[in-house]
Amino acid sequence: MSLSKSAARDALKQYFGYSEFRLAQERVVERTLEGRCSLVIMPTGGGKSICYQLPGVLLDGLTIVVSPLIALMQDQVSALLANGIEAAALNSACEFEQEQSVMRLAETGGLKLLYVSPERAVSAGFLSWAGRLNVSQIAIDEAHCVSMWGNDFRPEYTQLRRLLALFPGVPTAALTATADGATRHDILQQLALPDCEVFLSSFERKNIKVEVLPAQNRIKVMLKFLGARSKESGIVYCLSRKSTEQTAQKLRQAGYAAAHYHAALPADERRRVQESFQKDETQVVCATIAFGMGIDKPNIRWVIHYNLPKNIESYYQEIGRAGRDGDAAEALLFAGYSDMRTLKQFIDNGDGSEQFKGVQDSKLQRMWDYTQSTSCRTNFILGYFGEHREARCGHCDNCLHPPVTFDGSVLAQKALSACYRLKQEVGLNLMVDVLRGSTSQEVLRRGFDQLSTYGVGRDVDWKSWRHYITQLIDRGFLAIDFTRHNAIVLTELSRAVLRGETFVELCEPQEADFKSKALQEDEIALPDNVLLQALKALRKQIAEREESKAYSVFSDASLKDMALKKPGSIEAFMGVSGVGTFKADKYSDEFLAAIASHVPQEQRQMTSDVEIKKVTRAKSKPPANDFLLGKLSTTHLATYELYEQGSSASDIAAERGLSRQTIEGHLFRLHLNQRQIDVSELIDSEQISYIQDLWRALDQPLRIKVVHAESDGSVSYEQIRYAVCLLSVSGSVI
């Protein structure tokens, strides 16, 4: 099957709501449609999924996706279902019955994409079953897991050739965000894909603003930063378990919904923190690096490194968790030399050969060099990974506010000679006091006012002195002796400065100005921002109703685009990024109504330049059925626990911070799943008959929305689902 270029683009809009391909997406899609193999290397958030999901929709048959993380798999499946694309997963979290029904669907052509864990994909049972299916594509996500050189090596990946061998001639796409040459080579060799083209995209994360600040007043600076981002999710990475707890507590005291996370917490507590972060209930997680694998929250808007990371690889991976939805995000790093020392000790006291320690040491040193760099930080990182370029990135602090440098030789001499006169015995603050000629008790008591350097730096203010001395320490002209109360001491480089033999370049201090770098959301003019908040509230309400995640309804980027475009018609609504035909059909009424209530008609957009053409798919299934009787999950059980303690629906809603409607939905579902719930307060028998009659009269639609519209809103979504589900429970229809 071969589709023209424009057909692939039309399908991108129709199924995923995007009008343009990104990076290598289009070429990979075309290649797969031609029946050929690709290795796709793209940074996190680059859009790897579309590369195999779009062909998955268009090709006649099933796409098998091998993916190693259950949480990621589940999220991908939900996102596909939200776009009306039939997808399911087989992994160790599935129950037997669920598995059987997924397998039946795959056999009968009712699935377009099937996600499987690598263990499953290479098991004898799966291979003999899958061999009978009409498979049109194989996608291998996180393909670097095949390489023993990487951190995420999975032995099962090396056996995937057995799966590939079952389907000769079926196009395969292997995808990863890990760039290095050795891993790439390994993937190609181990998977042995015939005639495989490699698509290597730049590793630049254009949507992440990176910034480095000295590690001073970190909590204060963080609160200032958060002040302008009071609704945005973020992670604060800390070095120790204790500091995750302390930092989270300080943020809570300041009124933020913050939690801590580290490997020593009990498993269910860790799960709870992850879930509430995922649902936007917890805004900030202060965590050790244990918090990472498996979080697939696309709308993390910022990552702060409270401490220095151990190397550039870790740093880039951690900041990469921000902005996976492609929307603007920020990374802030606090660079403090005392962390350098701690990390160095970890290396020295750790296991491993001297050679290994030497490598770790030099990686740590590069990390420090990064924090001290005054040129483009993105280029520093890209260079580290072997990607070299001249042009500046324009989204790092050094590009946005180039540091102002000057000849600081005289200042340096003053500081160094003060250090010498003070016998290398005092800390930074007292040293500044002496330079500035302070008359503080301590200065006078210790006779420092008698020194020749007393007051030689009066003309420079206190804060700037601290800044300059910190720079001198960073450059190695001074050092801190941590064993003697952090006294500032001279180094082997000091002598040349004191003799005037070395030129010392210093940077002017700069106040971190978080306001000007605030997120796009703050840059959106006020009336639009009010609309945006209303759209977000509506999204939350729908997600609660559907028991899905907010971002599977629409991403932040889609809502922003919607707030800016203000569609006033279905056609204009379809022009919004991320709105495909399925979502337009499902959500346009509610979103258009919300926009209409905020924006006068003449300001609404009625038409769109995005042309929507329908692409017919090889096979299609009936739309999802809203009336399927759902299973109970942890959220229902949490409601049940409170209910059993005698709380009313409203109490439970208040206690759990959910809407009353959602709780009613839970109670109904609990009742349908044979739990002792008195639903007589939530619905009466007259309402039940009314809904059931209406549903039959409408020819048994699959969507609640249809019944709701016809009832003129006299009954709620939850009531409708319950009354219709009752019919199937009592053994009749559906």
Q: x/- contact string, 273-302, with ligand ADP (CB under 6 A)?
A: -------------------------x----
The contacts of residue 203 (CB under 8 Å, 6+ apart) are 43, 179, 381, 382, 385, 387
720: helix, strand or coil: helix
Total residues found in the chain within this entry? 734
* Residue number with CB closer to ligand ADP (79 or 649): 79
Asked if residue 85 binds ligand ADP (CB under 6 A), the reply is no
Q: How far is CA 710 from CA 414, 625, 716, 720, in A?
A: 83, 18, 12, 11
Tokens at 206, concatenated: 């254009």
Least distance to ligand ADP, CB of residue 173, Å: 12
Let me know: does 679 contact 722? Beta carbons within 8 Å.
yes
Q: How far is the CB of 299 from ligand ADP (least distance, A)?
A: 9
Among 22, 252, 540, 656, binds ligand ADP (CB under 6 A): 22
Choose from Zn ion, ligand ADP, none: what does 298 bind? Cβ within 5-8 Å by kind: ligand ADP
Query: For residues 40 and 51, is the Cβ–Cβ distance under 8 A?
Result: yes
**Site for ligand ADP contains 398 (CB under 6 A):** no
Q: Does 379 bind ligand ADP (CB under 6 A)?
A: no
- Report CA-CA distances (Å) from 281 to 257, 275, 374, 554, 562: 7, 9, 38, 18, 24
Among 9, 48, 636, 671, binds ligand ADP (CB under 6 A): 48
SS3 for 543-587 is HHHHCCCHHHHCCHHHHHHHHHHCECCHHHHCCCCCCCHHHHHHH
Q: Could you give the CA distance from residue 613 to residue 13 in angstroms, rounded to a whole number?
A: 9
Binding status of residue 45 toward ligand ADP by CB under 6 A: yes
76-115: b (≥16 Cβ within 10 Å) or e: bbbbbbbbbbbbbbbbeebeeeeeeebbebbeebbbbbbb
Residue 42: contacted member of Zn ion, ligand ADP, none (CB under 5 to 8 Å, by partner type): ligand ADP
Give the tokens for residue 231: 């609704």
Residue 204 CB, nearest approach to ligand ADP (Å): 13
44 is in the binding site of which of ligand ADP, Zn ion, none (Cβ under 5 to 8 A by kind)? ligand ADP
Characterise 605 by phi-psi region: left (phi > 0), alpha (psi -120 to 50), beta (else): beta
Q: Which ranges of 37-160 does DSSP label H, i.e. alpha helix?
A: 48-58, 70-82, 96-107, 118-121, 124-130
Q: Which residues pair with 338 in a beta bridge?
A: none
Among 88-96, 301-309, 323-331, 490-498, which window interacts with ligand ADP (CB under 6 A)?
Answer: 323-331
Mark residues 508-547: x for contact with ligand ADP by CB under 6 A, - for none.
Answer: ----------------------------------------
d(CA 518, CA 515): 5
Neighbours of 404 (CB within 10 A): 11
- Among 13, 14, 18, 418, indicate the residue that binds ligand ADP (CB under 6 A): 18
| Shortest distance in whole angstroms from residue 213 CB to Zn ion | 16
Taken in order 311, 315, 316, 318, the sign of the CA dihedral is positive
Q: Which is nearer to ligand ADP, 20 or 348 (CB)?
A: 20
Q: What's at 524, amino acid-wise?
A: I
Residue 53 beta carbon to ligand ADP: minimum distance, rounded to whole angstroms: 8
18 vs 302, which CB is nearer to ligand ADP? 18
Phi, psi (degrees; rounded to nearest 5) at 140: -115, 100
14 interacts with, out of ligand ADP, Zn ion, none, CB within 5 to 8 A per kind: none
Decide if residue 154 touches ligand ADP (CB under 6 A): no
Query: Judged by CB, which is closer to ligand ADP: 213, or 557?
Result: 557
Tell me which stretch binds ligand ADP (CB under 6 A): 38-46, 430-438, 528-536, 646-654.
38-46
Q: Cβ 583 to ligand ADP, closest distance in Å?
A: 12
Q: In whole angstroms, how close is the CB of 394 to Zn ion at the nearest point?
A: 6
Cα 289 to Cα 268: distance, rounded to the nearest angstrom = 18
By CB under 6 A, which span of 44-52, 343-351, 376-384, 715-723 interacts with ligand ADP? 44-52
Collapsing DSSP states into helix, strand and coil, what is residue 6?
Answer: helix
Least separation in angstroms between residue 379's CB and Zn ion is: 6
Which residue from 10, 325, 561, 664 is in contact with ligand ADP, where contact means CB under 6 A? Answer: 325
CB closer to ligand ADP out of 47 and 408: 47
Please say which residue, 296 or 528, places its beta carbon nearer to ligand ADP.
Answer: 296
Pick the piece of the chain touching ligand ADP (CB under 6 A) from 100-108, 120-128, 286-294, 319-327: 319-327
CB of 606 to ligand ADP, least distance (A): 24
CB of 181 to Zn ion, least distance (A): 24
Question: What is the distance between the alpha carbons of residues 104 and 57, in angstroms, rounded to a whole number?
Answer: 19
Least CB distance to ligand ADP at residue 108 (A): 28
Is 46 among the residues that bind ligand ADP (CB under 6 A)? yes
Q: Where are the alpha helices (DSSP H) in 108-238?
A: 118-121, 124-130, 161-166, 181-191, 218-227
Closer Cβ to Zn ion, 396 or 426, answer by number: 396
Alpha-carbon distance values, 371 to 223, 238, 340 (Å): 22, 17, 11
DSSP for 647-700 reads --HHHHHHHHT--HHHHHHHHHHHHHTT-----TTT--HHHHHHHHHHHHHTT-
Q: What is d(CA 581, CA 576) in angstroms, rounded to the nearest whole number?
A: 11
Q: 384 vs 468, which CB is nearer to Zn ion?
A: 384
Q: CA–CA distance from 502 to each of 466, 478, 480, 499, 598 (Å)?
A: 21, 14, 21, 8, 64
Q: Is 38 in the site for ligand ADP (CB under 6 A)?
A: no
By rule CB under 6 A, what count of residues binds ligand ADP? 18
433 with 415: CB under 8 angstroms? no
Residues in 681-710 at the binding interface with ligand ADP, rule: CB under 6 A: none
Partner whose binding site includes residue 376, from ligand ADP, Zn ion, none (CB under 5 to 8 Å by kind): Zn ion
Interface with ligand ADP includes 326 (CB under 6 A)?
A: yes
Residue nearer to ligand ADP on the CB measure, 15 or 477: 15
Backbone angles phi, psi at 394, to 5 degrees: 80, 0
**How far apart, in whole angstroms, are the C-alpha atoms of residue 102 and residue 451?**
82
| Closest C-alpha to 50, from 33, 67, 28 | 28
**What is residue 294's DSSP assignment?**
B
- Using the minimum distance from each CB to ligand ADP, give the nearer residue, 49 or 137: 49
Q: Is 522 helix (H, G, I), strand (E, B) or coil?
A: helix
Q: Min. distance of Cβ 629 from ligand ADP in angstroms?
A: 31
Single residue of 44, 491, 529, 700 touching ligand ADP by CB under 6 A: 44
Residue 393 partner contact from Zn ion, ligand ADP, none using kind-dependent CB cut-offs of 5 to 8 Å: Zn ion
Residue 539 partner contact from Zn ion, ligand ADP, none using kind-dependent CB cut-offs of 5 to 8 Å: none
Q: Which stretch binds ligand ADP (CB under 6 A): 15-23, 255-263, 412-420, 589-597?
A: 15-23
Candidate list 49, 137, 274, 438; residue touching ligand ADP; CB under 6 A: 49
Of 42, 135, 163, 553, the one binding ligand ADP (CB under 6 A) is 42
703's tokens: 């969507």
Q: What does the radius of gyration of the chain's CA atoms come to, in whole angstroms?
A: 30
Residue 18: which of Zn ion, ligand ADP, none does it interact with, CB under 5 to 8 A by kind?
ligand ADP
Residues that bind ligand ADP (CB under 6 A): 18, 20-22, 25, 42, 44-50, 298, 324-326, 555
